[in-house]
Amino acid sequence: MAYTKPRNRVGIEHDRVTDVSSTDFPGYYPGEDHSWSIEKFKNHFKVHIEYLNELNSEFDLIGVDPSIANAFRRIMISEIPTLAIEYVYIENNTSIIQDEVLAHRLGLIPLKANPDYMHWFKKDDPEFEPTDYDTLVLHLSAKCTVNPNAPEGTTDPKMLYNNAHVYARDIVYEPQGHQTEWYPDGVTAANPDILIAKLRPGQEIDLSMHCILGIGQDHAKFSPVATASYRLLPTIDIIGEPITGELASKFKSCFPKGVVAINSKGEAVVKDARKDTVSREVLRHPEFEGRVKLGRQRDHFIYCVESTGAIPPDQIFLKSVQLLKKKCEILRKFNLSA
Amino acid sequence: MPSKKQEVEVSEAVEIADQEMVDTEALEEEIPVIDSNKIQILPGASEDGTAASFRILQEDHTLGNALRYIIMKNPEVEFCGYSIPHPSEAAMNLRIQTYGEITAVQALEKGLDDLVDLCNVIESEFKEAISKKDYETSQPIDN
């Protein structure tokens, strides 16, 4: 029986990919109904969560179009507001790091602070005064001194000096007004071990910082994700006669561990195509020509979302869905017929 | 029984609390600052309104491609496409042509509504999947 590729498959040949565009539009297939139906979508759409914790996640959206999946990915990266250090007021900086470089480094530190409580700081308005509703205040002060109790003969700067290294954990949050209700546990860096500067005796850093809301489109420091990406589920179809014996073990070794297994009859069977890296190694061997078809399922998206620590990954995704919805609702309010 | 002075203080406190309530409400309301030119119909639309181009400000491929897809799913629509005319202009152009039964504006409005419905389904399904709590909490290690 000849192999017919399902419609929702991207074909993967040794030198190219085929059928990359969606075809589920009205008029594409004669006599078929491909008009939008929320009921049909509801019946086909599935969510699978592979794993999820405070920082990382992998989940599948099955039954959506790439245009929609990509919108969520783009929103997660560049349009979800988070808090980051934006203004640095340097009282004293005698370290070797220049003021502007230090300020930039501070800005990039991910903060563990829920952005939902804050309002927008109006950067464009010169009259706008920061309030407890829109600005978090942080302080950092460190002075390096000689450690008189350093063990004899040591060359380790951490032993020789006090405060030789300034870390993100040294940042102190100063609650303003209502902020004690919103941030009862305070605001800290998501990772306390980020090295900000190195000092030597006599050098000093003393500065205060203002954190405001922003989006990744403006500056990457405001992005809530370290990465947000998706890939399509790989497919491997063994066509025609089963692959057996010596050939089966060669077939198995063409894929990463756990993708192909050999069953009791000695036939190679696809165990877990999800683990495949789609290296296309199998397509390099003439003995497998015409016996295997590689592909990807065009409507099965495997998302990988890594949070910076401010918002959990599942909340980031939900926010992206809500934001796309909001974009539509805003446009819907305009009366264009008039 | 509280003295008069205390009473005054209480009422003052209530007043201050009220004021703060108003303040937060005012802040919440001023967040969506929407440009009145957010969406415009570009010159050159057909007279019967069945073909039109729209210019949407402050939008990009995120909404453009999603909207293009959902509008193309409408069988009354003959053509839908979008473009970003220049990368340094924060604007997106959307072209809709229908077979004549509906206007381009109606097709756009249906597209927006359908996209909202789609988001609602994804949101509720995702929330349901999370609430089941039957997922791993650490990345599976391959052996």
* CATH number of the domain to which B98 belongs: 3.30.1360.10
Asked, for residue B78, whether it belongs to a domain, the answer is yes
Asked, for residue B35, whether it belongs to a domain, the answer is yes
3-state secondary structure chain B: CCCHHHHHHHHHHHHHHHHHHHHHHHHHHCCCCCCCCCEEECCCCCCCCCEEEEEEECCCHHHHHHHHHHHHCCCCEEEEEEECCCCCCCEEEEEEEECCCCCHHHHHHHHHHHHHHHHHHHHHHHHHHHHHCCCECCCCCCC
A97: left (phi over 0), alpha (psi -120 to 50) or beta: beta
- Is the Cβ–Cβ distance between A49 and A62 less than 8 Å? no
B80 phi, psi to nearest 5 deg = -145, 130
Domain that holds residue B79: 30-129
Q: Which residues in chain B are contacts of A43 at CB distance < 8 A?
A: none
- Quickly name the fold that domain A9-79+227-239+291-304 has: Gyrase A; domain 2 (3.30.1360)
Is B42 part of the contact surface with chain A (CB cutoff 8 Å)?
Answer: no
pLDDT in tens, B75-134: 999 999 999 999 999 999 999 999 999 999 999 999 999 999 999 999 999 999 999 988
Asked, for residue B67, whether it belongs to a domain, the answer is yes
Instruction: Give the strand pairing for A56-62 and B91-98.
Output: unpaired
Task: Work out the minimum CA distance from B7 to partner chain A, whole angstroms.
Answer: 25
Residue of B nearest to A334 (CA): B39
Choice between B27 and B99, residue whose per-residue pLDDT is larger: B99
Is B2 part of the contact surface with chain A (CB cutoff 8 Å)?
Answer: no
Task: Work out the minimum CA distance from A94 to partner chain B, whole angstroms.
Answer: 40
Q: Residue A104 class from Cβ within 10 Å (0-12 exposed, 13-18 middle, 19+ buried)?
A: middle
Could you tell me the pTM of the whole model?
Answer: 0.90
- Cβ contact, residue pair B119, A41, below 8 Å: no
Task: Work out the minimum CA distance from A328 to partner chain B, whole angstroms.
Answer: 5
Provide mean pLDDT across the span A21-34. Answer: 94
- Cβ contact, residue pair B129, A48, below 8 Å: yes
pLDDT(A282) > 70 = yes
Positive or negative, the CA dihedral A293, A295, A300, A301 is: positive
CATH architecture of A82-222: Beta Complex (2.170)
pLDDT in tens, A142-180: 999 999 999 999 999 999 999 999 999 999 999 999 999
Domains identified in chain B, total number: 1
Count of A-B CB contacts under 8 Å = 147
Asked, for residue B2, whether it belongs to a domain, the answer is no
pLDDT value for A65: 97
pLDDT value for A318: 98
